[in-house]
Structure 1
Amino acid sequence: MFLNTLMRRNPRFIEAAMALHQAGEIPPNSYVLDLDTVEQNARTFSNVARRLGLKTFAMTKQVSRHSGFCQAVMRGGIDRNVAVDMDCAVACDRAGLKTGHLGHLVQVPQSDADFAAAQIQPDYWTVFSMDKAREAAQAAAKSGRVQNILVRIQTSGDTFYRGHEGGFDADNITQIADEIDALNGARFAGITTFPALLFDQDSGQVKPTQNLATLSKALRELSNAGRTDIEVNAPGTNSVNLLPALAKAGATQVEPGNALHGTTPLHAVQDLPELPAVLYLSEVSHQHKDEAYCFGGGLYIDPVFPEYEVQALVSGTPTSDSSALHPVDIPEYKAIDYYGMIDTTGRPLPKTGDTVVFGFRGQSFVTRANCVGILGAGTDSPRVTTVENIFGQPIERHKGSTS
């Protein structure tokens, strides 16, 4: 879905990744990042957000919390992350990107609350229940802090992905705010939901969900109760072109993830300000009949789109030319993706070791893939920074150079 856009808008990145793979610098089963373009995207996004009065927290899970990615977004003007879970918070903190928002989408486990309060010290901590609010407050008080609390709210008709449900009844928001403020170690700071925006398949546009209206209604009720300086966190399919609408709806916090590497659903159908900056790289392992098999491990396509024909560039030399495209069959989600199967019907079989490049909208943190940073992809001397695992830790056998 994203490969054609990548070939058209960032071909030198593809060619740099292929060349570095052929030189033995990038292992197969790797999400590869164009860190210069990530920095550019972050700068574009943060500049617009700042003009609109929006705080920006970078989501890093889609690219394995890679340390080079964290540093690139900081160079681009984003100095806080949104941690989807504790692993994100720890990895980003280790890379120097402090946590702006913790607890959303994944609540902080009870046993991690003290560590989160004392060591991570998030600017904002989201809770779905009073039980979780008390945990956060007690941990903050223990560490001598008063924690800013965001509450996830919901009402009938709001949209949730299955497994993401939860939150306070939005109709009781003023009472909830008072209860949070009554906790030692806590301060009610604002409200959040997910998703506030969603890509609509039929129209090919991003549209607000009812959740965003729920936030706006709750904000009015809080204002009518005399509360000011309320934070409104409105994540979901954020990109530069959508920021004015979010600000108009009352949002104060946005959380780009896929936008920072140009792979929101809208990027697949429109040329947006953010450029594509991620690809998935593999290598031909062996041949069988009319198929060549490439290594898997990270063949996860975020199922935001209906099924579509997957293609990959397959070549023994760097290229972004469409003549190198092949259809590829990848295992279903219920199967282990040991290999992808490249259709070579009517064409010469690729050679063992040839490079295979996909353009996925990935979620690499749920795979067993590597994540690799590249600097200088648009120059004649691109180089690998680090090869890391899904927890943002260097992989010893593929250290790469240092950034």
Structure 2
Amino acid sequence: MFLDMIQKRNPALIKAAAALHQSGSIPPNTYVIDLDSFEANVRALAKSAEANSVKLFYMTKQIGRSGFVGKTIQRNGIEKAVAVDIDEAFNLSKAGCKIGNLGHLVQPGKNQWETVLKQLRPEVVTLFSLERARQLSDAAVRLGLKQNVILRVISKQDFIYPGQYGGFLINNLESSIRELQLMPGINVIGATCFPVLQLNEAKTDFEFTSNLQTLLKSRDILANQGIEVIHLNAPSSTSCHTIPLIREYGITHGEPGHALTGTTPLHAYSENLTEKPCMAYLSEISHMDEDQAYTIAGGFYARSNMKKALFGDRLDQETEVHQASSENIDYYGSLKRDPRMNVGDTVLYAFRTQIFVTRSHVAFLKNADSKTPEVVHFQRRGV
């Protein structure tokens, strides 16, 4: 999906990945991240957010949710994380990273709220229901605390990805707020909805989904109930390109994930975006038959939309990718066999990923554009 753009905008990453794999410094089934470009992307995002008065929480699930990457992001200007689940929050917090938002994708369990409040101390907690709100409020009262929360809001007409359904229905929001205001351990300060942006059919730009109108309507409902709305969070494809767009609607917060590596959907089609693509997936040819070459896998993702891959000791040759069925475990990837292929050849893919659902490693490279690229951090199985 992103291979053409990496070839155009970051060929040094390809060259470095080939050299480090052939030397034995990086094993197959490893995501390689050009750390110099990654840090430049973070700085650009932080600068854009500051210029537009938008606050950012960084997302690490796509890139290996480690303390190393969290602290790297924080050093470059984005101070707090949004954690996909409590386990990611633990990983980041243990390394000294600050948690900005917890609960938007996966709600903590009923017996975990005191741990959330005592150990993780998020800036905000996103709530999906009155039941979870009561659990959080009760835990906060026991600890003598009051936790700021935002509400995930939805309407029946909104687009929501399968497996992510949930939230306060906009038609019932007024009555829900009245109940929430009676809970002494929480303080409602805003709302969120996802996804607010999607790539248009022409693949030329992002367009707003109906979810944006749900989010803006929730702001008015909250304000009419006497709540000072200071946090309006609109995640999805947050980037230097979209930050000014969401700010026009009064959005206060965004959550960049794929933009950190220059891999939002639009980055596959436009070479004029600020963030440089800086992540690829490295493997090698394991064995072959008459028609196909099989690559060591573990890091493929069902929504990757791969079309082709590079192969060879210098990654200077190209072949088609055979998409594997999502029903199968990705023990091997499959390429159209080419007579120039050899067992042990380096293979490089570039696609939209979620490293936290894979069995792959992550290698962070410095000086990719030099004669001496090096691995400065290797995260075994970047879960």
Contact 2:177 2:225 in 1 (8 A): no
The C-alpha deviation readout for 1:147-184, integer Å capped at 9, x for no partner, is 11111111231111122111112234344334323222
The C-alpha deviation readout for 1:11-66, integer Å capped at 9, x for no partner, is 11111122111121111111111111111111101111112111101111011213
Letter in 2 for 1:340: G
> In structure 2, the residue corresponding to 1:379 is in which secondary structure?
coil
Contact 2:262 2:276 in 1 (8 A): yes
- Cα drift, residue 381 of structure 1: 2.3
- Cα drift, residue 130 of structure 1: 0.7
Contact 2:302 2:326 in 1 (8 A): no
Structure 2 match to 1:195: 195
What TM-score, normalized to structure 1?
0.90
Distance 1:23 1:7 in 2: 22
Structure 2 match to 1:400: none
Structure 2 match to 1:299: 300
Distance 1:68 1:230 in 2: 31
Distance 1:341 1:72 in 2: 34
Distance 1:141 1:116 in 2: 13
Structure 2 match to 1:399: none
User: Are residues 1:336 and 2:333 paired?
Assistant: no
Cα–Cα, structure 1 residues 33 and 163, in superposed 2: closer, same or farther, change >3 Å?
same
Cα–Cα, structure 1 residues 174 and 14, in superposed 2: closer, same or farther, change >3 Å?
same
Structure 2 match to 1:244: 244
- Cα drift, residue 240 of structure 1: 1.0
User: Are residues 1:327 and 2:282 paired?
Assistant: no
Distance 1:390 1:224 in 2: 48
- Cα drift, residue 252 of structure 1: 0.8
Distance 1:150 1:380 in 2: 49
What TM-score, normalized to structure 2?
0.94
- Cα drift, residue 301 of structure 1: 4.6
Letter in 2 for 1:64: G
Structure 2 match to 1:374: 365
Q: How does 1:103-118 map to 2 (within 5 A)?
A: 103-118=103-118
- Cα drift, residue 78 of structure 1: 0.6
Contact 1:301 1:363 in 2 (8 A): no
Q: How does 1:139-150 map to 2 (within 5 A)?
A: 139-150=139-150
Structure 2 match to 1:283: 284
The C-alpha deviation readout for 1:230-269, integer Å capped at 9, x for no partner, is 3101111211111112111121110010011011111111
> In structure 1, the residue corresponding to 2:241 is in which secondary structure?
helix
Contact 2:158 2:211 in 1 (8 A): yes
> In structure 1, the residue corresponding to 2:328 is in which secondary structure?
coil
Distance 2:291 2:87 in 1: 42
Structure 2 match to 1:365: 356
Runs of 4+ in 1 over 6 A off after TM superposition: none
Structure 1 match to 2:164: 164
Contact 1:35 1:373 in 2 (8 A): yes
Distance 1:33 1:378 in 2: 13
Distance 1:79 1:302 in 2: 30
Cα–Cα, structure 1 residues 277 and 127, in superposed 2: closer, same or farther, change >3 Å?
same
- The alignment's C-alpha RMSD in Å is 1.8
Letter in 2 for 1:365: F
- Cα drift, residue 190 of structure 1: 0.8
Structure 1 match to 2:73: 73
Unaligned runs of 5+ in 2: none
Contact 1:314 1:357 in 2 (8 A): yes
Distance 2:175 2:46 in 1: 34
The C-alpha deviation readout for 1:111-153, integer Å capped at 9, x for no partner, is 3222111111110101110111112222233333211111111
Unaligned runs of 5+ in 1: 393-403
User: Are residues 1:355 and 2:346 paired?
Assistant: yes
- Cα drift, residue 85 of structure 1: 0.7
Distance 2:98 2:224 in 1: 34
